[in-house]
Every structure is written in C-alpha cells, then in structure tokens.
Amino acid sequence: MKKIIAKHGLTAAVVSLLVLVFAFGGVYSRFMTAQIAARANGGTGTDYIDMMTGATSSEVFATADVVKTYALADDRGDFTPSVLASYRLSSDAGEIGVVYVVSSHGKFPGIQIAFAFDLATDEVVAVKVVAQAETPAYYGTLDAAFFAQFDGMALADVGLAVDAVAGATYSSKSFEIALLYAREHYAVDYGFQIPSIAITLNSLTRNFDLATFIAMPYVADVTYGEDDVNVVVYLDAAFDVAGVLSGTEPAADVKAAIKSLAAADASLNTRASFVQYDPDSRELVMQTKGYSSNPIRVTIVLNATLDAIVSYEVDSHETYSEEEAIEDSGYGGGEVPWVENSFIDDYRLDGVLDVDAVGGASYTSPAMKALVALLDQFLGSVGGGD
Amino acid sequence: MARFANVKAPYLRLTDDRKYGTGTIQRDFMIALLPVILFAFYKNGVLVYLDGNITLLEMFYPLVFILAGGFLSTLLEALFFIVTDKSVRTMKALGTKLSVSYAAIPGLLLAMILPLYTPIWVLLFGCIAATLVAKMLFGGFGYNVFNPALIGYLAVAFTLYGVIQDAGGALNASEVILDAAGGATPLGALVEGQGLSYAALVAPYGTLWDFFLGTIPGAIAETGSLAILIAYVWLVARKVIRWYVPAVYVGTVFLLSWAIGAIAGADGVWFPLYSILSGGLMFGAVFMATEPVTTPRNPLGKIVFALFLGVFTILFRFVGDLAEGVATAIVFMNIFTMPIDNWTAVIRSEFGSKTVFAKGAGRIKKPIPKYVVKLIVLVVLIALIGLYGVLKAGGMFSASILPFAGRLF
C-alpha cells in the first residue's frame, strides 16, 4: 500500500483536486445557468411561495392569451405587456392564490413585476419586483409607502390605479400597467368580473378660467349610469375630481372611473401644463417635459389684454448634445435655451407656430411645441387671440 | 548601432538583481490583474446583487469562475509534469516546478476573457488548449510560440460558442433584462450589422462614460477599461511592460476607426472611442500584446508588432466581421514574432550607418542598404493593410460608395 501511495499518490492527489474543482465548478455553473434561464422567463415557482401566507407549493400553469395595450406616461406611446410566468399557489387545503409575473415598461422596458392575488378575497396580497433596469436614482424613491398601497388592494375597485411617487412617474406607472394587465389575466383564468360602470367621457377639455385653471386644469363632461346622468366636473393635474361645474357630485366609484377614463384619454395635450399665474403682474409660469428629468419652465409676462407676450424667460436643463447623439443627426443651433427661445420667438412674430422641430433636438422640440400650443389655446381663450 | 556599457567590467546582470527577476515580473503582473478581477466581481456580482437581480450565492460566481480558471490550469500543468517528468514525484519537486512555470496565469487570463455563463467544462477545455497544447507541448514557460490564454480562448470561441450561448451567454442578470440590442454586446451589435450610428452602438448601453467605466455587456473582465488603465500604469511603473506597446496598438485602432467613421459618415470622436473601449482591445493591448515570451524583444520590433496588431484588428473586426478580432490578430502576429525581431534588429543596428569605400574604388553604385529595404517593406505592408481595412470597412458602412473601395477586392 505504501508503495502504491509513494508511486501514485501525487498523481491521485492532483487528479482528485482537478475532479473536485471541476465538480464544484460544474455544479455552480449549472446553478447559474438555471438561474439566468429562469430569470429571463420570470423567475422560478419557489421564488413566489412566500408571497402568500399559508402557501406551501406553487405550480406553473398556462395563463390565457390576453392582448391589451396601455398608454405610457407622458405620451411616450403605447405598450403591450406580457405575462412571463404564472403560478398557482396552494396550501394543504388546496389552491389559495395565483401569481402573475408581468413584463412591464417604466422608464425602460423589461421591468418584471410579480403580483399575488388571493382567490378568496380577489385582493392583491403581495407585489415583488423580479427584475428591473430603471434609473436607480428614481427607482430608489419607490419606498415602503409606495409598496404598502398594494396590500389588500381590491381588484373589484372600478378605478384600480397606482398612486405614483413624485419624480418616479415612469417607474410607478409600470406597476399600474402590470397590475391592470395581471387583473385581465385573472379575469379570464378565474372568471373574475372586472367591474365597470356604464360611463362615457363626452369631452375632456382644458380649463382656462383664470380663477381656477392652475389648481383644476381640466374639465370633463361625462354621462354615466343606467339613467344617463350627466355631470361636468373639474379635474386636477392627477385627473382626480376636484370640483363640480354642473350636475350632482358623483359617487366615489364614478369619480374613480372618471379618473381612469381621463387619464387614458389621448386627445388632450398633457405634456405641457400651467404652474402658476399672478393676475396682478400677469406673470404666467408654464412647464413642459423635454429630455431632461427637470421640466422646462417658461415664465411669460402677458400684456394687459392677455393676448400677447410682453417678455419671457426660460429655465431649461436640456442637453442638446445628448439628444443629438441619440438621434444621430446634426444640431446646428446655439446653447441652451436656444431651441426653447426659437419656438417662442417664432410664435411671438405672428401668433402662429411655424417651427415644427429643430434638427438634433428631438426631445426638446415636441416639448416646446406642446407648450406653445397650450399657450396659444390659453391666449385664445382668455384674450383676444392673435 | 550596438550599445556598450560605458563602464569597465565586471558588469552586473539585471536578472541577478532580485528586483528584476522573472518571479518579480510575474508577481507584478498578478498584482496588475487584481483591479481588473475586482472590477469584474463588482460589475457582474456586487452591482447585479444590489440591483436585486441575483442572490448572494450568485454574486460570488464571477470571482469563483476566474479563480477556477487559475486552479484548473495549475492542476493541468501539475499533471503534465507528473506524467512527463520522472523527477517530479514529490510535492516539493512539483512545487518547485510550478513556481517557475507560472501555471495559473493562462487559466486566469482565459477565465477573464470568457463570457460569464461559460460552463465549467468549457473552461476546462479551454485550459487544456491553453496550458497543455499552447504552452507545455511547446516546451513550457518561455518556449511557447503563441499566447496560451488566447489559444485557449480561440479554441473555445470557434468550437463551443453555441454551448456558451445556450448556457446563458455573456450578459449578466441585470443586462439580460435590458436586452436593448437583442442580447448583443456592443461589439456584437456592430458585427450583427446594426449599423454605424451612436443610437445603435452606444446608446442602448448608456454613454461612452459607461464604456470607459466598463458597465457594459461583455466578457467577465474585459470591459473594465478604467481598471485596465490602472493596471497599465502599474505595469509601466514597475517596468514590466513598455508603455508604447499598448499605446501604439490602441492608438492605431483609434486612428483607423476614426478614418472609417469619417468615410462612413459617423462624424466626431464617438466611433473611435467606441472602437477602443468595446470588446477586448484594452485588455489585449495591456496583458496580451505585451507578453514577453511571444512578442518581439527589441523596442522597434515591439512597435512594429503593435502597428501590425492595430491594422489586423481593424481588418478582422470590421471587414472580417469577427468579434474576436483582437485575439485573432494577436495569435496571428505571434507567428511573425521572430521575423519581426530579426528584421528590426537589423534595422536598429544598421540605421544611420555609412558604407565606407576604399580610396580609388572609383564610381561604385552604392547598394541600397538592407535595413532600408526591410524598413520600406514593413512600412508598406502596414500602410497597405491599414488602408485596405479602412477603405473596405468605410465602404461597407457608407451609403455613398467610394469609387474603388470595396468594389475591386
């Protein structure tokens, strides 16, 4: 034995070490491969058992094929989410819940959010972010209070919506899209009736009443219910009902439905908004969302008849060089706020905006176009127009 | 002109000084790898864990994978010594052999330039190619002709690429979510023909600053340009490498890329910066193109070698559509290390020398000195290959076709 060890011991030791490293590494790399594959497909079932109290097992199931499109915040177009994975959660007594892992769209696509629904109460019991690639500074503001709103959220709420966190609107909106879409799947898979009220949004317009337009920028004309009750209401910037212009104040569920309809209505220019108005100095502050996360603010002084611009000042944090690089076309203008000034100066010439866009400033241009269009509407309403 | 020390004998050999021994060089080399390895761990492990996209166990994998490469190549070399050298029968003898063979380096380097989700058996295959085939079969440390790590890499890349893709590829868990360019790395996006625009090549991964920091998709440790730059400064300060080799290599690629961009309409400096900061160029320039065994020894030879590396990298990347342009260029040029050394030695020794003719020799047609011929050949070769690469690549990416580029060849 000693002879064998003396002769072959070193070889055996080296080979054993090699096999050990190879085996350990092999197990580790297979584990990593399994994890990344599961992650690309919405996670593994065991990741979600702890989302529901009392759940002891999870089972993959094929959810129904549902196609729905949702508008992204700030007029960035439409998005069609998808369910990456769906799991039935069971306890010893039987099936108690369901988890949908939805691929949604915040600032960027690819945020994966899992919602757990309680089959007994039709409520949201847990939410989990499986993966995300949002801007860390903004996503990080989604705190415990934000996530707490989902606890016990009733799927039967006609105005099911997510309260956004200021400064993280896109990321917040991604949760709302995911939740609404998950509810659609829940409705098809489990026969859940998504509540709806017979309601029609007859019109959604801007409120240009000088006394109220800052706090309540929108006016919605709706008809609802079996009796076709008509009401015209003021809406605030978040589309919550803030006052009644005519008719009887509607109930809470109708208000929620009005909010949902107004928020989804794409007919209105909501990119630009009014911030402040001083009737004494006739100083109007407007803002619009361009490329920078800080909106472009324009302070405009109007004339006495409120139909022309006397002077203006732009506070902008745009970066034309980055927009130009993304758009990959030349920008030939001046430094910030050259683009913003160009739009306003053009409008001031004859009260008509002839500039469509400035090449290389593909984010700032539509933002300023929206602002000038809104200003034009405002002047047309409160003043004499041109 | 031959150089003589301007002092009397005896002369002290530098290698007799412990500070300049091979062991010291290899130690400094390993130290230089540290920031790059740590960055790889940070980018593919810590950062992804902090994003919430992997667990704690997964976080350590990049580090374990790199170390596994070093271990595997060391063990394979140990096995080779045991099998082939009868004098190696004890741990002490084996340890002595391994200590002067620097067995871990090929495996470490190989692991650093492989994609994150490379299966361990693929890494073992690469280590066998790197250590046993490219290094030991040629005679061991100091006798190899080709860069062992790159031979291992090319063996894996050309035969088992699909296996790596199926196992997860190069994107870590945070990058696979973004999937902005369909799972492609920045260089992969170029090779896949996504066009020569900032929007297609840079914007999906962030800005050029992200490219410099290294927070972009790529192999485990090759993307960290800042970390590699720190390593470069250390290696130059410790006199392990000559500063001009990576500088000439990267500079050549920068200039030629700028020319290609100018032809193709990609104005500005973003494209040449993208070219040098994506793929394994920085890593290859600092750690592979400066490898003392497989690259020329004299300074002029090193410069010529680096110039050829630059033009061939451009050729393989842009004309050959090869994402492994750097590795291929270095291994290809390893073949010519000796001829380059010989030619440049002649050029260096004869440059500026004057032929003295005896009195009364009459009018003799002075022959063209050999070193001039060699110099012209080298310069013309570099220029021709570079010009061809630029015009061909520029023509490929340009909407306006140049009169002859890309058409004749």
| pLDDT value, residue A238 | 83
Q: Give the HSE-up count for residue A135: Cα atoms under 13 Å, Cβ half-sphere.
A: 13
Q: Please, which pLDDT band fits residue B68 given cuts at 50, 70 and 90? A: very high
Q: What is the mean pLDDT of residues B12-20?
A: 51
Q: Please, which pLDDT band fits residue A386 given cuts at 50, 70 and 90? A: very low
User: B252-267: string of b/e by CB count within 10 Å (b at 16+)?
Assistant: bbbebbbbbbbbbebe
| pLDDT value, residue B95 | 85
* 8 Å CB contact of A10 and B61: no
Of A148-162, B9-23, B80-94, where does the model show the most confidence?
B80-94
Smallest Cβ–Cβ distance between A328 and the set B55, B91, B198 belongs to B198
Evaluate if residue B362 carries a pLDDT over 60.
no
Q: Please, which pLDDT band fits residue B195 given cuts at 50, 70 and 90? A: low
Evaluate if residue B332 carries a pLDDT over 90.
yes
| pLDDT value, residue B401 | 44
Contact of B55 with chain A, judged by CB distance below 8 Å, is answered with yes
- Residue A127 CA: distances (Å) to CA of A55, A144, B99, B381: 15, 12, 55, 64
Evaluate if residue A116 carries a pLDDT over 90.
yes
Evaluate if residue B247 carries a pLDDT over 70.
yes
| pLDDT value, residue B408 | 43
**Which residue has better confidence, A163 or B375?**
B375
Q: How many domains does chain B have?
A: 1
Q: What is the mean pLDDT of residues B75-81?
A: 92
| pLDDT value, residue B215 | 87
Cβ-Cβ contacts under 8 Å between A and B: the total is: 112
Q: Please, which pLDDT band fits residue B129 given cuts at 50, 70 and 90? A: very high
A31 contact residues in B (CB cutoff 8 A): 57-58
Mean of the per-residue pLDDT values of chain B = 82
Q: Which of B237, B398, B283 minimizes the C-alpha distance to B39?
A: B283
Contact of A12 with chain B, judged by CB distance below 8 Å, is answered with no
* Min Cα–Cα distance to chain B from A46, Å: 14
Q: Which of B53, B92, B269 is the mutation pick for testing A, counting most A CBs within 10 A?
A: B53
Lowest mean pLDDT among A126-130, A203-207, B41-45, B346-350: B346-350
* Min Cα–Cα distance to chain B from A156, Å: 31
Q: Please, which pLDDT band fits residue B177 given cuts at 50, 70 and 90? A: low
Rounded to whole angstroms, how far apart are CA atoms B101 and B117? 29
A36 contact residues in B (CB cutoff 8 A): 117, 168, 173, 176
**Which residue has better confidence, A134 or A17?**
A17
* 8 Å CB contact of B177 and A131: yes
* 8 Å CB contact of A131 and B76: no
Q: What is the mean pLDDT of residues A218-246?
A: 90
Q: Is residue B249 part of a domain?
A: yes
Lowest mean pLDDT among A157-166, A227-236, A334-343, B353-362: B353-362
Q: Which of A8, A18, A30, A32 is the mutation pick for testing B, counting most B CBs within 10 A?
A: A32
Residues 296-355 of A with CB under 8 A from B: 322, 325-328, 330
Evaluate if residue B361 carries a pLDDT over 80.
no
Lowest mean pLDDT among B39-43, B55-59, B245-249, B351-355: B351-355
Residues 318-337 of B with CB under 8 A from A: none
Q: What is the mean pLDDT of residues B108-132?
A: 93
Rounded to whole angstroms, how far apart are CA atoms A257 and B88? 83
Smallest Cβ–Cβ distance between A110 and the set B52, B88, B179 belongs to B179
Contact of B20 with chain A, judged by CB distance below 8 Å, is answered with no
Q: Is residue B107 part of a domain?
A: yes
Which residue is it, tokens 């490898």? B291
| pLDDT value, residue B403 | 45
Contact of A41 with chain B, judged by CB distance below 8 Å, is answered with no
| pLDDT value, residue B400 | 46
Which residues 6+ apart lie within 8 Å of A53 measured at CB?
A125
| pLDDT value, residue A206 | 92
Q: Please, which pLDDT band fits residue B365 given cuts at 50, 70 and 90? A: low
Q: What is the mean pLDDT of residues B75-94?
A: 87
Evaluate if residue B404 carries a pLDDT over 50.
no
Closest Cα in chain A to B73: A18
Which residues 6+ apart lie within 8 Å of A88 measured at CB?
A58, A59, A61, A95, A97, A98
Q: Which of A18, A29, A33, A41 is the mutation pick for testing B, counting most B CBs within 10 A?
A: A29
Per-residue pLDDT tens digits for B264-313? 877 789 999 999 998 889 999 999 999 888 999 889 999 999 999 999 99
Evaluate if residue A327 carries a pLDDT over 70.
no
* Min Cα–Cα distance to chain B from A78, Å: 18
Question: pLDDT > 70: what percent of chain B?
Answer: 82
| pLDDT value, residue A136 | 65
* 8 Å CB contact of B117 and A110: no
Residues 106-135 of A with CB under 8 A from B: 108, 110-112, 129, 131-133
Rounded to whole angstroms, how far apart are CA atoms B187 and B323? 6
| pLDDT value, residue B107 | 95
* Min Cα–Cα distance to chain A from B57, Å: 9
Closest Cα in chain B to A136: B51
Contact of B71 with chain A, judged by CB distance below 8 Å, is answered with yes
- Residue B109 CA: distances (Å) to CA of B70, B113, B298: 8, 6, 25
Closest Cα in chain B to A7: B89
| pLDDT value, residue B184 | 62
Q: Is residue B300 part of a domain?
A: yes
Q: What is the mean pLDDT of residues A144-148?
A: 84
Evaluate if residue B176 carries a pLDDT over 80.
no
Lowest mean pLDDT among A264-273, B183-192, B214-223: B183-192
Contact of A32 with chain B, judged by CB distance below 8 Å, is answered with yes
Q: Please, which pLDDT band fits residue B188 given cuts at 50, 70 and 90? A: low
* 8 Å CB contact of B119 and A40: no
| pLDDT value, residue B2 | 40
Q: Is the pTM of this model over 0.90?
A: no
Q: What is the DSSP letter of A211?
A: T
Q: Is residue B360 part of a domain?
A: no
By the 8 A CB rule, do B302 and B296 touch? yes
Q: Is residue B14 part of a domain?
A: no
Lowest mean pLDDT among A1-15, A221-235, B363-377: B363-377
Q: Is residue B3 part of a domain?
A: no
Q: Which of B120, B174, B205 is the mutation pick for testing A, counting most A CBs within 10 A?
A: B120
Rounded to whole angstroms, how far apart are CA atoms A276 and A282? 10
Q: Which of A2, A5, A14 is the mutation pick for testing B, counting most B CBs within 10 A?
A: A14
Contact of B65 with chain A, judged by CB distance below 8 Å, is answered with yes
Question: pLDDT > 70: what percent of chain A?
Answer: 91
Q: What is the mean pLDDT of residues A53-76?
A: 84
Evaluate if residue B3 carries a pLDDT over 70.
no
Q: What is the mean pLDDT of residues A71-81?
A: 80
Q: Which of B143, B389, B135 minimizes the C-alpha distance to B260?
A: B389
Contact of A10 with chain B, judged by CB distance below 8 Å, is answered with yes
Q: Which of A182, A194, A159, A196 minimizes the C-alpha distance to A97?
A: A182
Q: Is residue B361 part of a domain?
A: no
> Taking CA A224 as the corner, what is the angle to CA A219 and CA A227, rounded to the nearest 5 degrees?
135
* 8 Å CB contact of B176 and A40: yes
Evaluate if residue A224 carries a pLDDT over 80.
yes
Domain enclosing residue B261, as ranges: 20-351+367-408
Q: Is residue B106 part of a domain?
A: yes
Contact of A21 with chain B, judged by CB distance below 8 Å, is answered with yes
Q: What is the mean pLDDT of residues A326-343?
A: 76
| Alpha-helix runs per DSSP H in A119-267 | 136-139, 144-148, 169-190, 252-264
| pLDDT value, residue A221 | 93
Q: Which of B50, B54, B177, B179 is the mutation pick for testing A, counting most A CBs within 10 A?
A: B177
Which residue is it, tokens 């001829």? B339
* 8 Å CB contact of A22 and B124: yes
* Min Cα–Cα distance to chain B from A32, Å: 7
